[in-house]
């Protein structure tokens, strides 16, 4: 993985010194909250309902075992013993004291982590496919490109005060496992006509209050020109984007307002007048960065492992885990193990310090010291020998990290909601928990197959509800928690926003209503048809009927 050079290390150190001074001045009263707020936000510090909250960047979701141990140390020493992985593959600590923040950031800097640009109207943490460098359908590993974009965008003076925050995601395969079309800019690696790396570029996606699916602006921007093209997009946005109304300031609003063609014209105009030579990525630099992401020293293994096959035959529970939580690896004899942060009745994305240590140990022993964070709020051990999967599973199971539900109905994405968040209308976590209990039966889960259920506590959509196959949005009705349900959203290469099925429901009715919708799916699906495909074939109506069945009968 990427290692800091002296510039990175110096930059992070200087920022901590600066922030440390700001914290001191805030503590002494020399800075007011209004003065301090923009400064703390530049360092990932929010003030939430119960405490300060620190958001730590996990660049493109890649974590070493050493970093994971350090996160455990932070959770244990400065927090209440846990952290929360978010849909932007960052980790949030919910309880740090103001005076501890510089120490936390110093501890993190020692393992090359920071909280810069995890908040504010700048280019945020770049996200990618959690199976980067693993998936067989990959044209090219997107991580070196993520790193290039990260370096270019970090403390970029021109793009530090954008009209609004800016999120970029990159995938290296035609299958979109990073929801790129929900981002301000989504990049998909393709082969250009010359056979070289190029990028299909999508622009103007975003969730939140006025959700939009990104539109294609360019089919194949050559890799060398990527930074120039991104610069042109950001210049066009910086110039034309609205700054008068925070709800209309995202690039999605601009693209929707003037149309993709007019926006493309403006980007091309900007592109033409850029000093392209300054932004061209030199071949040596690309090669230097790519070298950080060369595959680990895999052993030459046969494609199958008799020990693994025998363990699957002997242990149905293990076999089930491998069906749901093990993904194919392009290297023969290896697999990628999904560590579920969605135990039945748990808090989606939460992980205790002890669990972090377990994951760190397993990564060190079995996965070349590497862990990944997925936007679905799970972790992945990306390179595990098939013959080791059983040992990994046993240890995960003891630690409560082996729920066999990756991409299944209880693999729920949920934001912190009103239990933590000062912007929330309603709680998200208890609804996720109720649903998870309702659908806990492992055989049922497998029968249902992949279903993405996403929950947000308000319209900001941190829980991706718009693009859940089933989405749940907390709304406030005269001080009571209600939930609006959507059906038919999709985050992937067939991205779509869900359709609101009808009036919102009180908390206790949400899980049973969704369970009825899933039962209906089992009745009406064609052989082998996935939930989302049944919705695409038949529309939302059958599910609407199921969702309101009992409530209508009672009314």
CA 506 vs. chain centroid, Å, equals: 28
**Least distance (Å) from ligand HEM to the CB of residue 44?**
10
Q: Which of 151, 460, 545, 551 binds ligand SF4 (CB under 6 A)?
A: 460
Which of ligand SF4, another protein, ligand HEM, none does residue 94 bind to, with CB < 5 to 8 Å depending on kind?
Answer: another protein
CA atoms within 13 A on the CB side of 361: 12
Which of another protein, ligand SF4, ligand HEM, none does residue 207 bind to, with CB < 5 to 8 Å depending on kind?
Answer: ligand HEM
With binding defined as CB under 8 A, does residue 102 bind another protein? no
H or E element at residue 413: strand 413-414
Phi and psi based region of residue 449 (left: phi greater than 0; alpha: psi -120 to 50; beta: remaining): left
**Least distance (Å) from ligand HEM to the CB of residue 268?**
25
Whole-number Å distance between alpha carbons of 546 and 168: 37
With binding defined as CB under 6 A, does residue 457 bind ligand SF4? yes
352 phi, psi to nearest 5 deg: -85, 165
Binders of another protein among residues 478 to 517 (CB under 8 A) are 478-481
With binding defined as CB under 8 A, does residue 24 bind another protein? no
C-alpha dist (Å) from residue 383 to 43, 68, 328, 386, 427? 33, 16, 10, 9, 36
Which of another protein, ligand HEM, ligand SF4, none does residue 88 bind to, with CB < 5 to 8 Å depending on kind?
Answer: ligand HEM
Per-residue mark of binding to another protein, 28-47 (x: CB under 8 A): xx--xx-------------x
DSSP 136: T
DSSP 320: H
The answer to whether the CB of 510 falls within 8 A of the CB of 482 is: no
Identity of the residue, 369 or 464, whose beta carbon is nearer to ligand HEM in the bound complex? 464
With binding defined as CB under 6 A, does residue 468 bind ligand SF4? no
Which of ligand HEM, ligand SF4, another protein, none does residue 86 bind to, with CB < 5 to 8 Å depending on kind?
Answer: ligand HEM
**Least distance (Å) from another protein to the CB of residue 95?**
5
Distant-in-sequence, close-in-space partners of 34: CB < 8 Å, separation ≥ 6: none
C-alpha dist (Å) from residue 2 to 88, 221, 294? 19, 25, 10
Binders of another protein among residues 344 to 373 (CB under 8 A) are 347, 350, 352
**Least distance (Å) from another protein to the CB of residue 97?**
4
| Piece in contact with another protein (CB under 8 A), picked from 102-110, 356-364, 367-375, 424-432 | 424-432
CA atoms within 13 A on the CB side of 160: 11
Identity of the residue, 428 or 490, whose beta carbon is nearer to ligand SF4 in the bound complex? 428
Rounded-to-5 percentages of helix, strand, coil across the chain: 45, 20, 40
Which of another protein, ligand SF4, ligand HEM, none does residue 269 bind to, with CB < 5 to 8 Å depending on kind?
Answer: none
Residue with token string 């979701």 = 61
| Piece in contact with ligand SF4 (CB under 6 A), picked from 37-45, 144-152, 291-299, 411-419 | 411-419
H or E element at residue 534: helix 531-538
Binders of ligand SF4 among residues 414 to 433 (CB under 6 A) are 415-417, 421, 423-424
530 phi, psi to nearest 5 deg: -75, 160
Alpha-helical segments (H) within 455-505: none
Residue with token string 């990564």 = 363
Identity of the residue, 46 or 93, whose beta carbon is nearer to ligand HEM in the bound complex? 46
Identity of the residue, 48 or 276, whose beta carbon is nearer to ligand SF4 in the bound complex? 48
Q: Which residues bind ligand HEM (CB under 6 A)?
A: 46, 48, 53, 86-88, 92, 164, 206-209, 250, 415-416, 421, 423, 460-464
Identity of the residue, 391 or 423, whose beta carbon is nearer to ligand HEM in the bound complex? 423
Whole-number Å distance between alpha carbons of 258 and 254: 6
With binding defined as CB under 6 A, does residue 373 bind ligand SF4? no
What's the first-to-final CA gap in the chain, in angstroms?
58
Whole-number Å distance between alpha carbons of 297 and 311: 26
The answer to whether the CB of 487 falls within 8 A of the CB of 455 is: no
**Least distance (Å) from ligand SF4 to the CB of residue 360?**
27
| Piece in contact with ligand SF4 (CB under 6 A), picked from 15-23, 87-95, 157-165, 454-462 | 454-462
With binding defined as CB under 8 A, does residue 26 bind another protein? yes
Which of another protein, ligand HEM, ligand SF4, none does residue 458 bind to, with CB < 5 to 8 Å depending on kind?
Answer: ligand SF4
DSSP 206: B
Helices and strands, counts by H and E, the chain: 19, 21
Which of another protein, ligand SF4, ligand HEM, none does residue 547 bind to, with CB < 5 to 8 Å depending on kind?
Answer: none
**Least distance (Å) from ligand HEM to the CB of residue 217?**
17
With binding defined as CB under 8 A, does residue 279 bind another protein? no
Identity of the residue, 485 or 546, whose beta carbon is nearer to ligand SF4 in the bound complex? 485
Rg (CA), the chain: 23
With binding defined as CB under 8 A, does residue 427 bind another protein? yes
Identity of the residue, 102 or 208, whose beta carbon is nearer to ligand SF4 in the bound complex? 208
Which of ligand HEM, another protein, ligand SF4, none does residue 456 bind to, with CB < 5 to 8 Å depending on kind?
Answer: ligand SF4
Distant-in-sequence, close-in-space partners of 516: CB < 8 Å, separation ≥ 6: 546, 547, 549, 550
Pairing of strands 470-477, 453-456: parallel
Q: Which of 54, 351, 392, 461 binds ligand SF4 (CB under 6 A)?
A: 461
Whole-number Å distance between alpha carbons of 141 and 128: 10
Binding site for ligand SF4 (CB under 6 A): 415-417, 421, 423-424, 456-458, 460-463
> Which residues are at the interface with another protein (CB under 8 A)?
26-29, 32-33, 47-52, 78-82, 94-95, 97-99, 347, 350, 352, 418-420, 422, 424, 427, 429-430, 433, 478-481
């Amino acid at each position: 993985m990427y290692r800091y050079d002296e510039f990175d290390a110096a930059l992070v150190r200087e920022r901590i010194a600066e922030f440390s001074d700001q914290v001191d001045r805030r503590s002494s009263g020399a800075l007011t909250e209004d003065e301090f707020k923009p400064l703390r936000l530049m360092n990932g510090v929010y003030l939430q309902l119960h405490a300060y909250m620190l958001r730590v960047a996990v660049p493109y979701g890649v974590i070493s075992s050493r970093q994971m141990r350090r996160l455990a140390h932070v959770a244990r020493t400065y927090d209440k013993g846990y952290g929360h992985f978010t849909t932007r593959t960052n980790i949030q600590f919910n309880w740090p004291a103001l005076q501890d923040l510089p120490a936390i950031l110093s501890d993190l800097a020692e393992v090359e982590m920071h909280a810069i640009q995890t908040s504010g109207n700048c280019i945020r943490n770049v996200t990618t496919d959690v199976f980067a460098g693993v998936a067989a359908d990959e044209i090219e590993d997107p991580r070196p490109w993520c790193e290039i974009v990260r370096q270019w965008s970090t403390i970029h003076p021109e793009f530090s005060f954008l009209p609004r925050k800016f999120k970029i995601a990159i995938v290296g395969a035609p299958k979109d496992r990073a929801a790129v079309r929900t981002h301000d800019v989504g990049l998909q690696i393709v082969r250009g006509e010359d056979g070289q790396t190029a990028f299909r570029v999508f622009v103007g996606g975003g969730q939140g209050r006025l959700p939009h699916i990104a539109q294609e602006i360019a089919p194949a921007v050559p890799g060398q020109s990527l930074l120039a093209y991104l610069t042109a997009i950001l210049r066009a946005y910086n110039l034309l984007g609205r700054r008068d109304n925070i709800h209309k300031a995202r690039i999605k609003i601009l693209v929707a307002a003037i149309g993709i063609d007019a926006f493309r014209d403006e980007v091309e105009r900007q592109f033409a007048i850029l000093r392209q030579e300054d932004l061209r990525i030199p071949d040596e630099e690309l090669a230097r960065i790519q070298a950080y992401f060369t595959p680990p020293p895999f052993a030459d293994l046969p494609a199958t492992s008799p020990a693994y096959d025998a363990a699957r035959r002997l242990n149905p529970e293990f076999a089930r885990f491998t069906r749901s939580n093990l993904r194919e690896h392009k290297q023969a004899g290896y697999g990628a193990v999904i560590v579920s942060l969605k135990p039945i009745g748990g808090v989606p994305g939460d992980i205790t310090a002890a669990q972090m240590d377990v994951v760190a140990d397993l990564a060190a022993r079995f996965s070349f010291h590497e862990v990944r964070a997925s936007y679905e709020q799970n972790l992945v051990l990306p390179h595990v020998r098939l013959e080791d999967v059983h040992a990994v599973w046993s240890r995960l199971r003891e630690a409560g990290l082996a729920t066999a539900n990756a991409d299944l109905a209880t693999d729920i994405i949920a934001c912190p909601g009103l239990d933590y968040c000062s912007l929330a209308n309603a709680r998200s976590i208890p609804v996720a928990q109720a649903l998870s209990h309702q659908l806990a039966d492992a055989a049922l889960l497998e029968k249902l197959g992949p279903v993405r259920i996403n929950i947000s506590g308000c319209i900001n959509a941190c829980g991706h509800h718009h693009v859940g196959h089933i989405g749940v949005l907390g709304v406030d009705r005269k001080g009571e928690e209600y939930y609006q349900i959507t059906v038919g959203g999709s985050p992937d290469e067939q991205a779509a926003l869900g359709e609101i099925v009808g009036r919102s429901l009180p908390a206790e009715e949400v899980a049973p209503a969704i369970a009825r919708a899933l039962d209906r799916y089992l009745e009406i699906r064609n052989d082998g048809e996935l939930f989302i495909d049944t919705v695409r074939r038949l529309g939302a109506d059958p599910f609407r009927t199921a969702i309101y069945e009992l409530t209508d009968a009672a009314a």
